[in-house]
């Protein structure tokens, strides 16, 4: 039990770190793009040969393209971290090259831009690399271009003292950066434990409901309607039912342990199996957890769920489009059925519920847009495919 709790907390911390790192990557990439435009303008002013300007521009375009692709495709945390380190290394290397090969000593001030870009990344390894490179390049400029700092007539001892001062300042800044990163890590853990406490309270309520009402959840109805919904959904789109195997996996996960499911579905990545496991109607899974939270908000326009505080998201960075569609559709089908403590929701009532609660910000925008714009199609699917007496889940 304790290990499962620690695993949930660990996964939540990792998701928070990923969101923070991805946001920092977006800001750093934007800053690099703006800086590249500034550099190109500077090169024209300094009459740098046009062929060299084109080469420099090409290098920046390649680097920025990798960053944009990594953000759009939601690369894994490890790859985003490595790319951040490469960005820092690239920008310092590029500025150092200009200092020594283009006779542009005035470019020295650009080192502070490089340092700022590196400081944006919330990773201890990137912070270490950033401060080491800033210390090294600043020291290099001090000894090679002392005129930049108006110390060209200083003695070796005086230059040594200035260099030592630079090192001390960078050490203090580095310690400050590491302290801030550690504080953020502490906040991640604090928030994750807070969510875990809320999760366990709701799970306790589910256990009490099961004891009093003798497990009122009708899984057969839920899985039957899920199959019918996606069968009709794919027919409307005139496409192959690519969801069928995933639906069968969800159904099996209601009976099988995670280890047995991984053995049976070896071709499906473990991350997807874990995500689809949350679509079973077990008390401790995401579907019912979020359903309970959102059901407590309906009618109270003052209460909003902050997506950052939600236990889980409908749009994990490593989910495929098919999984994201299934997660939201399962949530939708669940609410279109009556439960033991509420009536079935109409389509519009469900969409209003999402907006009032703030849960809509957890959903992939394109999926939410589809359910909003094609309300008639969704209603037809619910009416034609899932027709008959409303059976409470």
Please name every residue paired with 56 in a beta bridge, in sequence order, or none if there are none: none
Confidence (pLDDT) at 330: 77
CA distances from 27 to 19, 21, 22, 90, 122 (A): 13, 10, 9, 17, 12
Q: What is the mean pLDDT of residues 353-370?
A: 77
Number of residues written out for the chain: 393
Rounded distance between C-alpha atoms, residue 200 and residue 298, angstroms: 22
Query: Which run of H or of E encompasses 8?
Result: helix 2-45
- What is the token pair recorded at 19? 């969101």
What mean pLDDT, rounded, does the chain reach? 77
Rounded distance between C-alpha atoms, residue 280 and residue 255, angstroms: 10
Question: Is 122 in a helix, a strand, or coil?
Answer: coil
Q: What is the mean pLDDT of residues 192-198?
A: 70
Q: What is the DSSP string of 226-286?
A: HHHHHHHHHHHTT---TTHHHHHHHHHHTTS-HHHHHHHTTTS-HHHHHHHHTTS--TTSH
pTM of the model as a whole: 0.59
- By the 8 A CB rule, do 230 and 330 touch? no
Q: What percent of the chain has pLDDT over 90?
A: 14
pLDDT tens readout for residues 270-300: 777 877 776 776 655 666 666 666 665 554 4
Nearest alpha carbon to residue 347 among 391, 321, 380, 303: 380
Rounded distance between C-alpha atoms, residue 378 and residue 372, angstroms: 9
CA distances from 219 to 42, 281, 345 (A): 66, 7, 18
Most confident of 84-93, 102-111, 156-165, 249-258: 84-93
pLDDT of 86 > 90? The answer is yes
Q: What is the mean pLDDT of residues 204-227?
A: 67
DSSP annotation of 257 = -
pLDDT tens readout for residues 113-167: 899 999 999 889 999 999 999 998 888 877 776 665 555 666 777 778 878 888 8
3-state secondary structure 79-92: HHHHHHHHHHHHHH
Phi and psi of 337, rounded to 5°? Answer: -100, 150
Rounded distance between C-alpha atoms, residue 279 and residue 268, angstroms: 16
Nearest alpha carbon to residue 393 among 280, 313, 286: 280
- By the 8 A CB rule, do 254 and 195 touch? no
Q: What is the mean pLDDT of residues 238-255?
A: 79
Q: What is the mean pLDDT of residues 345-349?
A: 84
Question: Is 128 in a helix, a strand, or coil?
Answer: helix
Average the pLDDT over each of 83-87, 167-171, 339-343 and give the range with the smallest value.
Answer: 339-343
Higher pLDDT, 266 or 57: 57
């Amino acid at each position: 039990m304790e290990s499962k709790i620690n695993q949930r907390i660990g996964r939540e911390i990792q998701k928070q770190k990923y969101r923070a790192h991805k946001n920092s990557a977006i800001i750093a990439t934007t800053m690099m793009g703006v800086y590249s435009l500034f550099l190109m303008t500077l090169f024209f002013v300094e009459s740098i040969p046009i062929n060299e300007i084109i080469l420099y521009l090409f290098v920046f375009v390649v680097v920025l393209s990798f960053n944009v692709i990594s953000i759009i495709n939601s690369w894994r945390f490890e790859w985003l971290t490595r790319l951040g380190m490469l960005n820092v290394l690239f920008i310092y290397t590029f500025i150092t090259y200009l200092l020594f090969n283009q006779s542009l000593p005035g470019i020295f001030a650009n080192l502070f831009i490089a340092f700022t870009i590196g400081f944006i990344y919330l990773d201890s390894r990137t912070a270490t690399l950033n401060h080491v490179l800033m210390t090294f390049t600043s020291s290099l400029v001090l000894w090679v271009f002392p005129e930049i700092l108006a110390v060209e007539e200083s003695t070796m001892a005086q230059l040594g003292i200035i260099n030592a001062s630079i090192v001390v300042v960078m050490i203090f800044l580095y310690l400050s950066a590491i302290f801030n990163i550690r504080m953020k890590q502490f906040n991640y853990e604090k928030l994750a434990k807070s969510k875990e406490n809320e999760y366990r309270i709701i799970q306790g309520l589910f256990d009490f409901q099961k004891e009093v009402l003798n497990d009122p959840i009708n899984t057969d109805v839920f899985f039957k309607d899920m199959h019918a919904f996606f069968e009709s959904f794919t027919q409307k789109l005139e496409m192959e039912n690519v969801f069928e195997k995933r639906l069968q996996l969800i159904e099996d996960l209601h009976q099988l342990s995670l280890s047995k499911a991984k053995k049976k579905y070896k071709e499906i990545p473990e991350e997807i199996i874990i995500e689809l496991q949350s679509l079973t109607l077990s008390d401790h899974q995401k579907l019912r957890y979020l359903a309970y939270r959102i059901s407590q908000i309906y009618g109270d326009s003052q209460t909003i769920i902050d997506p950052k505080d939600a236990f889980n998201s409908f749009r994990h960075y490593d989910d495929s489009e098919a999984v994201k569609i299934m997660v939201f559709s399962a949530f939708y089908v669940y609410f279109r059925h009556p439960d033991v403590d509420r009536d079935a929701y109409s389509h519009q009532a469900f969409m209003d519920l999402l907006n009032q609660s703030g849960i809509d910000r957890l959903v992939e925008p394109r999926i939410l847009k589809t359910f909003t714009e094609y309300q008639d199609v969704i209603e037809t699917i619910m009416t034609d495919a899932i027709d008959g007496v409303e059976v409470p889940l």
